[in-house]
Amino acid sequence: MATHLGEFWPFSIYPMFSQAGKPWKRAVVRDVSTIEDSTIWKNYNHDNLAGEPVPLDDFNINTNDIANLLSKTDTWTEAKVNGVRKLFSKNIGSQELLILQARGMLTEQDSVDVQFIPFIYLSQDTTILNSELKSE
């Protein structure tokens, strides 16, 4: 991410088209196999982000697809949660994954604030939606 004179460019394939200065949302997947279950559901910032990064190329998943799914889903149905699980289930192995939404915005102090909100936890035999999210 880069900042310059009040403008910022979030994680984007084409940063020149990313609407600098407006709030943005992306998706991040972390391996939380070594993290206590009770602590993974808190919101994070960049300095205390849980786990290790998971490259979505390993799952043959496009980051934009996950980001769109997280940002455009207002109410999480069982079918939508299971759809996310299907994307990862083929190659999940022994990993425990946490799918987070990164929400970034330009602050009044001319800096960038990014918060990471946990959405879905996945392991080989478990799928858990964050209880704070609207679900049916």
Helix axes 63-72, 78-89, angle to 10 degrees: 170
Question: Could you write out the DSSP letters of every residue in 9-29?
Answer: E-S-SSGGGS-TTS-EEEEEE
For the segment 49-72, the average pLDDT, to the nearest whole number, is 90
Mind listing the pLDDT tens digit for each residue in 6-24? Answer: 455 555 545 555 566 678 8
The number of CA neighbours under 13 Å toward the Cβ of 116 is 19
Domain ranges of the chain: 24-130
Mind listing the pLDDT tens digit for each residue in 83-131? Answer: 999 988 877 888 999 999 999 887 788 778 889 999 999 999 999 999 9
**Contact yes or no for 123/96 (Cβ under 8 A):** yes
